[in-house]
């Protein structure tokens, strides 16, 4: 079950457990039901107003010939993002995707095409350059 901003894991877990107990109770089964939440994570959403996103958008448009970035939330999970968010005390983070929807992320057949890999390297390098330009501008350099 994917959570979204303003949903808490505890609330979702409680709702799911109550629903399962209710439905199971209506079955008249002599079996017992035990529900355990084995893994849960809160949602993470980046701040698109942060200059990380401005630098990433500029890099994306330069490398991809004017193509604007798509800010669609796709419900993927990259657990290390939450760890980074916690250990940096909520400092700005950005996920800069370089793959495609059919790359089979986290599967035994996960892949990335050569073109996406090379273009991803170009995008990351351009992002660092754009980030530096924005940082210098903010400092008045």
Contact in structure between 79 and 87 (CB atoms under 8 Å): no
- Which pTM value belongs to this model? 0.76
- Please provide the size of the chain in residues: 141
User: Cα(76)–Cα(2) distance, rounded to whole angstroms?
Assistant: 9
User: Cα(106)–Cα(137) distance, rounded to whole angstroms?
Assistant: 39
Find the radius of gyration of the CA atoms of the chain: 21
pLDDT digits (tens, 9 = 90+) for 7-59: 899 999 999 999 999 999 999 999 999 999 998 888 888 888 999 999 999 99
User: Cα(72)–Cα(95) distance, rounded to whole angstroms?
Assistant: 12
């Amino acid at each position: 079950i994917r959570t979204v901003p303003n949903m808490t894991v505890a609330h979702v877990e409680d709702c799911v457990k109550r629903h399962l107990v209710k439905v199971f109770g209506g079955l008249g089964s002599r079996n017992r039901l035990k529900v355990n939440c084995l893994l849960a994570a809160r949602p993470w959403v980046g701040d698109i107003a942060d200059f990380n996103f401005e630098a990433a958008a500029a890099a994306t448009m330069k490398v991809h010939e004017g193509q604007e970035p798509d800010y669609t939330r796709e419900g993927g999970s990259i657990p290390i993002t939450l760890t980074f968010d916690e250990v940096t005390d909520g400092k700005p983070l950005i996920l800069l995707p370089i793959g495609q929807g059919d790359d089979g992320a986290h599967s035994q057949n996960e892949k990335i095409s050569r073109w996406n890999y090379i273009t991803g390297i170009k995008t990351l390098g351009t992002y660092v350059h754009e980030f530096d330009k924005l940082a210098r501008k903010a400092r008045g350099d």
